[in-house]
Amino acid sequence: MLGNSEGASGLVPVDKNDSPDGISPEEFLALENARKYKAHYVYFRRFENRPSVPQVYLYDYTNDLGVDEAYLTDLHRQLYSSGLVPMFFVFTKQDVRIFNCFEQPAEGKKLKYKPLTTIRLAANLSEAIDTQSAEDFKAFSGRSFDNGTFWESSKYSPQFKFSNGAYEKLLTELKQALKDIIDKNVLPANFAHRIMVLSILIKYLEEREDENGNKVFPKDFFSNFADKATRFTDVLNTKGAFAKLLDYLARHFNGGIFQIDEEEREAITNRDLSRFGQFLQGETEGIQFVFWRLYSFNDLPVELISNIYEEFLGKQPGVVYTPPYLVNFLLDEALPLTNEETDFKILDPACGSGVFLVGAYRRLIYRWRKKNGWDYPSLETLKKLLRDNIYGVELKKEAAELTIFSLSLALCDELAPLQIWKDLRFDDLHKENILHDDFFAAVKDQKLNKTFDLIIGNPPFEAKLTPAAAQSEAIRSKSRLLIDDKDKEIQVALPDNQISLLFLEESIDLCKEEGLVCLIQPSGPLLYNNSSFQFRQVMLKKYNVPQIIDFTHISRVLFGKNGDVATAAIFVKNEPSKSKPLLHITVRRTKPHKEKLYFELDTYDFHYVPFGLAYSDPLIWKANFLGGNRHHQIIKRLSGLPTFGDFLNEQSKLNNWVYSEGFTVAIKSDLLKLKKLEKDRHNSVQSQSAYEKELKRLSADFLTQKKHLPVEAFTSTGIKESEIDESLEEYFFHSKGNPKVYLSPHLLIKEVVENASFSIPVKYLNEDIVFKNSIFGIHASDKSELLKIQERFVNNQLFSYYLAGTSGRFMVNKSSSLLAKDLKNLPYPKDERELWLNESEEIVVRDFIEYLLEFRRNGEKSKIAISDVTAQNLLDFSNSFCSVLRSVFKTINPGEYLETDSYICFPFYFGEKPIIEFEDQDQAEKAIETLVEKNLGISLRTVRIVRLYEGNVVYLIKPKKLRYWLRSIALRDADETFSDLRKQGY
């Protein structure tokens, strides 16, 4: 872990760093947290231009033979609950015990610590005494944490699962507890949720204890509310006692945190709450709930409690709850700790349970400390920082209440237990800070009368406007203008009534000049839907948009059980457009992302988009999503060709071809309208006529009782005859398609790209058959022309690749489905040779199909993520790399590459072959580190991918996983090397 004497190390002693001098703010805060748990060292993973991430707490008891098991059990329980680090190591004279903080302590009659593994030591602490321990020494080396290989490919990495962590386990058990309480009619659902949250806060206060054993509540406090009660759960076991306790706490603390209304008081006074007490004490027979025994609520982070409650509320339309590690990542970008400004007003326009606001409040406290010599702020200062700077709006009352609860808990976190009880009185944040309201109504009514430095959050994604939002859109649409080529004004509509984009626009206006907006948005409407093109142009024309962080690749893992939601975070400064390049970061799926350890970015995730391209070319975003500039060149070239839609339109005019999607069955509103008209039809002639008109609109004799092809029966291998329906039973339809497309001869194209074949199913049929709207039909009298289309479509992976680079749906929200307009947009020149690819284009497309598609689907489990590069892969890479550069630099050649445990160092030289010497294999990894440090002044630990120029040699230094050494990556490396050399005057 210590590394060599010449290199930087991520190992930082805790006690020698009680001031922030010489270390980053993030590391200083992490060391303060570690000090609370009496760790001796923290091991950090350090990144370039990004905050360090604590990986391991280390406890040095090498002067002792062993450590008290009860101490280890409690330490394991505390760190499991806190989520501060994924691991901790305990060193003694005879062994190293390694603990997984994603794994709970072992359950039984009493808890027991549970090491991930134990490494036995010889007399010399640096030598393991058996083969297994020697292997573990290597697996748990500092270098394996520095380069991420421990999390991605060590034998222990499968045991670090987010689903086993305190957050997921606690959420599962609390949901089950609430279900049991509601099912047994202990309390109605809405009361049960609130009582559980209040119970968490009280239990948190009960467990708060300082180093001297002082607690928040006075001795025998709970006996004031229930006879002989010694703990909070005793109060729950006595009917009526809990209401008395809440009333007392409401008077004592003020601020409305513990305030209950009369309906709630009556419910909890007259009901038996002992079931709550049993659950919270972990004593329910027959069900393994061990809440308070397993979790240390004194150590559970406030953000975790907030997220748990958000998920209690269930999935709301358009609402995606924000995982804490995403919150921290965006706050690192938008509210860095290096700044000392504390008069800094922050708004979350759809704050949910307050996860962004809690994180922002903590950062303001840190800024105050930094500005004031690292003193701890007084209670009044803490309250002032909260009262003057933290604001939120939330439509759901229950969530708004929780935001106030969460902020109050964050305030308590900064106080000593005795101070909480003696001095703390909460401010009422309901009045101005946390508003229970529609955001757009609050803006209209001027309730948000501040100008904000930062607006950050995750607004709802619904394609539906609230009444107040609709009024806002009516006003905004008049000023949302573009000038076309003929100097005419174009009024730009809000794409698909997407309310999140309206939140974005409204938020910018609430910022002060040069203030920043950072909002999570659905990435389809923000980046990938063609219907959003003009809206993006308006944004880019009016404001400075420095970066967009695109999470589409990790949509399946980012929001867990809440669903596969493609998102991106856009950063907008309230200042005129700078017409500067925009940074588009496409976050790829890796093991750290999957298990929510931290965000891992590498060079290939960064795409600098010139302003003119961002403004004028809608293809650039999806090209970056696929891999960058080379993809953009291919897709741009193909997009200039005549389209399949052009071809169909021409055939329609010349030869009376007919084409359309199939039918959709009647939706709920159709049937309700028909039912109402049927009920009223006898009232008048007009009513009868209206009913008959609607009946005719919904009916279709050319569909009902006709032979029907189910969508699932149609695949790229053909049509499964056994699954065809002889008679369609539906009578009412929302849309019908053109009647002629169901008649033979016709060609059917399924609107999907199949995963297995990466092709679009297509089938010529010479029989009448009806089908739904996810099948596109073409009817023509000329069979031969339809067969020509079929021939061009069958197993055409280039078509599928093109759709991957142009469709706003494929690989975004609906990962494999298409729209009819996507099919019509396919390049379809008369001369097929115009679709032929050159050698470089072939490499890019082939790598995408063979490797990157699977990487998108399976991430850390895909072939290119888990497989090491082979000698043949490296030969192919070097050939492609040199081929590009030889177009200008005729003499470039590959040298002999060096392979270490984690990296490949591949030299390429110009002209005369130089003598390149590395250390022996045992020292190879250190040699690479020394080389990088010597020339770049940074540790390789901070950089995953390096291009190093020394004399007439270019060194490419990258992890040895296959994904970094594909031939398509060689082309990108060559392009960037060429750019570097041009800048240096070559």
Which one, of 496, 462, 524, lies nearest residue 808 by Cα? 524
CA distance 799 to 644: 11
User: Do the beta carbons of residue 548 and residue 625 sit within 8 Å?
Assistant: no
Torsion sign (Cα): 187, 188, 192, 194:
negative
Amino acid 920: pLDDT: 61
CB atoms within 10 A of CB 552: 26
Helix, strand or coil, per DSSP, at residue 314: coil
Task: Locate 548 and state its tokens.
Answer: 């967009």
Helix (H) or strand (E) holding 647: helix 644-655
Residue 844 is which amino acid? V
Amino acid 897: pLDDT: 92
Amino acid 321: pLDDT: 62
**Confidence category of residue 610, pLDDT binned at 50, 70, 90:** very high
Please compute the mean of the pLDDT values over residues 451-455 and round it to a whole number.
Answer: 96
CA distance 918 to 906: 12
User: How far is residue 83 from each of residues 55, 110, 295, 461, measured CA to CA in Å?
Assistant: 11, 22, 11, 29
Q: Which pTM does this prediction carry?
A: 0.86
CA distance 898 to 340: 45
Residue 932 pLDDT greater than 60, yes or no: no
Residue 318 pLDDT greater than 70, yes or no: no
Residue 935 pLDDT greater than 50, yes or no: no
CA–CA–CA angle 777, 780, 784 (5° rounding): 110
Task: Locate 366 and state its tokens.
Answer: 């840190």
User: Do the beta carbons of residue 982 and residue 889 sit within 8 Å?
Assistant: no
Amino acid 7: pLDDT: 41
Residue 283 pLDDT greater than 70, yes or no: no
Residue 316 pLDDT greater than 70, yes or no: no
CA distance 756 to 349: 43
CA distance 13 to 10: 10
Most confident of 155-164, 172-181, 378-387, 930-939: 378-387
Please compute the mean of the pLDDT values over residues 361-365 and round it to a whole number.
Answer: 94
CA distance 352 to 372: 32
Torsion sign (Cα): 796, 798, 804, 806:
negative
pLDDT digits (tens, 9 = 90+) for 619-652: 999 999 999 999 999 999 999 999 999 999 999 9
Amino acid 319: pLDDT: 54
pLDDT digits (tens, 9 = 90+) for 245-255: 999 999 998 87
Cβ within 8 Å of residue 119, ≥6 positions away: 95, 96, 98, 128, 133, 136, 137, 140
Least confident segment among 313-317, 813-817, 832-836, 942-946: 313-317
Q: Is 631 left (phi over 0), alpha (psi -120 to 50) or beta?
A: alpha
Task: Locate 971 and state its tokens.
Answer: 């082309």
Amino acid 296: pLDDT: 72
Greater model confidence, 590 or 527 = 527
Amino acid 338: pLDDT: 83
Q: What is the mean pLDDT of the chain?
A: 86
Q: Any idea what DSSP says for residue 746? A: E
Residue 883 pLDDT greater than 80, yes or no: yes
DSSP labels, 348-395: ETT-TT-HHHHHHHHHHHHHHHHHTTTPPPPHHHHHHHHHHHEEEEES
CB atoms within 10 A of CB 375: 10
CA distance 909 to 195: 70
Please compute the mean of the pLDDT values over residues 752-761 and round it to a whole number.
Answer: 92
CA distance 901 to 144: 9
Greater model confidence, 193 or 81 = 81
Amino acid 933: pLDDT: 43
Amino acid 5: pLDDT: 37
CA distance 940 to 466: 51
**Confidence category of residue 815, pLDDT binned at 50, 70, 90:** confident
CA distance 52 to 24: 8
Residue tagged 């040069």 (tokens): 514
**Confidence category of residue 818, pLDDT binned at 50, 70, 90:** very high
Which one, of 968, 818, 865, 379, lies nearest residue 592 by Cα? 865
ω into residue 745 within 30 of 0, thus cis? yes
Amino acid 288: pLDDT: 43
Greater model confidence, 302 or 202 = 202
Residue 302 pLDDT greater than 70, yes or no: no
pLDDT digits (tens, 9 = 90+) for 376-414: 999 999 999 999 999 999 998 878 888 888 898 889 888
CA distance 165 to 101: 7
Least confident segment among 82-86, 192-196, 464-468, 508-512: 192-196
Q: Is 862 left (phi over 0), alpha (psi -120 to 50) or beta?
A: beta
Most confident of 157-166, 297-306, 352-361, 775-784: 775-784
CB atoms within 10 A of CB 722: 6
User: Do the beta carbons of residue 503 and residue 527 sit within 8 Å?
Assistant: no
**Confidence category of residue 261, pLDDT binned at 50, 70, 90:** confident
Q: Is 512 left (phi over 0), alpha (psi -120 to 50) or beta?
A: beta
Q: Any idea what DSSP says for residue 729? A: -
Residue 6 pLDDT greater than 80, yes or no: no
Pairing status of strand 95-100 against strand 117-120: antiparallel
CA distance 808 to 717: 26
Over the Cα atoms of the chain, what is R_g?
A: 32
Residue 280 pLDDT greater than 60, yes or no: yes
Amino acid 814: pLDDT: 64
CB atoms within 10 A of CB 13: 13
CA distance 318 to 462: 4
Which one, of 429, 254, 449, lies nearest residue 357 by Cα? 429
**Confidence category of residue 286, pLDDT binned at 50, 70, 90:** very low
Percent of the chain at pLDDT > 90 equals: 51
pLDDT digits (tens, 9 = 90+) for 897-911: 988 877 889 999 999
CA distance 571 to 520: 9
pLDDT digits (tens, 9 = 90+) for 12-67: 999 876 666 677 888 888 898 899 899 999 999 887 667 788 999 999 999 888 88
Residue 925 pLDDT greater than 70, yes or no: no
Task: Locate 431 and state its tokens.
Answer: 């009045």
pLDDT digits (tens, 9 = 90+) for 673-686: 999 999 998 888 89
pLDDT digits (tens, 9 = 90+) for 545-591: 999 999 998 887 777 655 568 899 999 999 999 889 999 999 988 76
906 beta partners: 956
Q: Any idea what DSSP says for residue 8? A: -
Least confident segment among 218-227, 551-560, 726-735: 551-560
